[in-house]
Amino acid sequence: MIWTNDLVDDSIKSKMKIQCLFSLLLAGLSLALALTPEAVDYTVPDQEYLKDLTTDYDKINDNSLLWGAYRSNLYLGVRPRIPESLMAGLVWFNIDTYQGAGKMRHQCDQGDDLGKFGWVKYSPRYGGREVINDNEFKVNITSDFVKTEDGSWALNIKGKTLRKNVKTSLMFYVGMEGDGDLKYAAPLQETLNLVDGDIKLLGYSSDLGDFDIDITYGNKKQYAKSKKPLFKPELDPSKTRHLSLRVPSGNAWMAKDIFMTFLQENVKNLESQVESLMEIPPEQFSL
């Protein structure tokens, strides 16, 4: 603070100003000297500690990017950033008519009558939301893909029909390429390939270690009910169907073609048992 008074001699004023300024400068210098040691006094981290810290960061960074929608040729596909590893995808088709199965969706195709499809939100570290508007099959499909910090992920698939009584069959498949194992965790109901409830798959690979996949049953109201009595118990559309099989190495991505082959074989078997396939409602056709 600099204080002055008009009644004080000019020389006295000057001395007081100099003293006050000098005192302020000394005070500022003392404060700076007091703070300086604290500001510059630090310890250089140990090189081994820095190396471990970098390794941990790289591991966390890699884990956050491990899983994703890395199957860009499909409408919906998930896999890790590991060659010849686990892959998952979605196939769907309309079951209001017998022709729907012949137009099933899997790979992106300009011939499919889709209003739009794509990720409306997506983060490679956290996941996102994909919207598919299928004009021909009269259904909109929304998929939420979520990743967690521990390397797990979840996929929530919802459908909304564009008119009443539209029936759509969804097939979610999981395949293992390369060295590894993937199997169904519980016995099926005899040989009917039917599951009344959730499905758990158990797997292992050298890159992923032990893992499990849970496919939840969901709301019973979302399952189609047949208009006619069941031709066979295994054709019940109100239950989830499961099929496990081995395919030649490198063919796990051909899920749609494999599914079509099995469906055609089943149709041929049914043709030999009825006078006309029209006796069996389209929603009862299965693997």
State how many domains the chain has.
1
- Rg value, the chain, Cα: 34
Above 90 in pLDDT, residue 192? no
Long-range contacts, 107-116 (Cβ 8 Å, 24+): 107/73, 107/74, 107/75, 107/256, 108/73, 108/74, 108/75, 112/136
CA 170 to chain centre: 17
Quote the pLDDT of residue 48. 67
Residue 41 lies in a domain: no
Read off the pLDDT of residues 210-230 as tens digits, 9 standing for 90 and up. 999 999 887 777 777 777 888
Residues of 132-153 as b/e, b for ≥16 C-beta within 10 angstroms? bbbeebbbbbebebebeeeeeb
Phi-psi group of 251: left, alpha or beta (phi > 0 → left; psi -120 to 50 → alpha; rest → beta): alpha
More confident residue, 272 or 78: 78
Shortest CA distance to 87 belongs to which of 76, 95, 98, 97?
76
**Cβ–Cβ < 8 Å for 268, 287:** no
Above 60 in pLDDT, residue 188? no
The domain that contains 137 carries what CATH number? 2.70.98.110
Structural domain boundaries enclosing 171: 57-284
Residue 23 lies in a domain: no
Residue 151 lies in a domain: yes
Residue 28 lies in a domain: no
Quote the pLDDT of residue 262. 86
Residue 47 lies in a domain: no
What is the dihedral sign for C-alpha 229, 157, 192, 267?
positive
User: What are the beta bridge partners of residue 214?
Assistant: 200
Shortest CA distance to 224 belongs to which of 131, 77, 88, 100?
100
Residue 83 lies in a domain: yes
Token duo for residue 271: 């043709």
Quote the CA–CA distance of 142 and 157 in Å, as a whole number: 6
Least confident among 35-39, 137-141, 164-168? 35-39
Q: Which amino acid is at 160?
A: K
Shortest CA distance to 94 belongs to which of 82, 83, 84, 102?
102
Residue 278 lies in a domain: yes
